[in-house]
Amino acid sequence: MPGQQQMTEEQVQELQEKIKNMSPEELKEFQKKQCIFCHIIEGKVQSKKVYEDDKSLAILDINPANPGHVLLLPKEHYSIMPQLSEEEIAHLFMVAKTISNATLRSLGVQGTNIIVQNGVAAGQKAQHFMIHIIPRKENDGLNFELPQKEIPENQLEEIRKKLASNLGEVKEEEPKVQNIVKPKETDEPKKKESKEEKKPEKQASKKESKGKTKEQEPKQEKPKIKPDGKEEVGLDDIADLLGVK
């Protein structure tokens, strides 16, 4: 495989030094050269392609969790999902849905798992962001059962506050909820300040996102994917497949 040759320790150090001094553009170019999936996208390395458009490529995993395990890649090199634009994410997951639908219909499976791994701790192995689409059957030997942890109420509430405020506390903008939120105005000055700071941002981001969706509509990329068109016909098929024990 290209980019996977053994290197001496000296070479590794030299390389690390080189990487440190790179501009972001150079670094991206460098990452691309090292990335096996970029080579696959460029056609330098062979793969089993199940879908391709100008932004994405879907291939069969050569070491699948189950037969039909698909890796869906953006053609652009990204390491993790937060680096992708909203348009790219929307596009990729619409393709993912279509692929999931296609595996359900064509492989006689009764379910799919969609998995994204951001970071090594999350199980990420490749340096190219990808979406795993894994066909599932009963007793297929896979187990993605998630553990259930006891999380103390105060910890949960603390996390809720942190995430909600980071996400823009959309709820507070709704008139209904504003009444409930009223007591907050009597809160300490600190909270007031942060609220005031955030409000304009929220509005701005709302406008932005509204503008974006309007812009998106006439674009070609969205209509291009039209998985739903036949889904209304195929839904029973999927349901049947999913229902068969």
Q: Which lies closer to another protein via its Cβ, residue 32 or residue 69?
A: 69
Name the minimum Å distance from CB 240 to another protein: 6
Name the minimum Å distance from CB 216 to another protein: 9
Name the minimum Å distance from CB 20 to another protein: 22
Residues with Cβ within 8 Å of 50's Cβ and at least 6 positions away in sequence, in order, are 58, 59, 60, 70, 99, 102
DSSP 33: H
Q: Angle between the 86-106 and 189-216 helix axes, to the nearest 10 degrees?
A: 60
Q: Which lies closer to another protein via its Cβ, residue 36 or residue 90?
A: 90
Q: Rounded to the nearest 10 degrees, how much is the dihedral formed by the CA atoms of 52, 57, 59, 64?
A: -150
Name the minimum Å distance from CB 158 to another protein: 9
Name the minimum Å distance from CB 91 to another protein: 8
d(CA 40, CA 71): 12
DSSP 21: T
HSE-CB for 9 with a 13 A CA cutoff:
0
Residue 125, phi then psi, degrees to nearest 5 = -115, -35
Q: Which lies closer to another protein via its Cβ, residue 30 or residue 111?
A: 111
Q: Which lies closer to another protein via its Cβ, residue 36 or residue 238?
A: 238
Q: Which lies closer to another protein via its Cβ, residue 42 or residue 236?
A: 236
Helix (H) or strand (E) holding 134: strand 131-136
Quote the Cα angle for 204-210-216, to 5°: 135
Name the minimum Å distance from CB 78 to another protein: 12
Q: Which lies closer to another protein via its Cβ, residue 34 or residue 60?
A: 60
Is 71 in a helix, a strand, or coil? strand
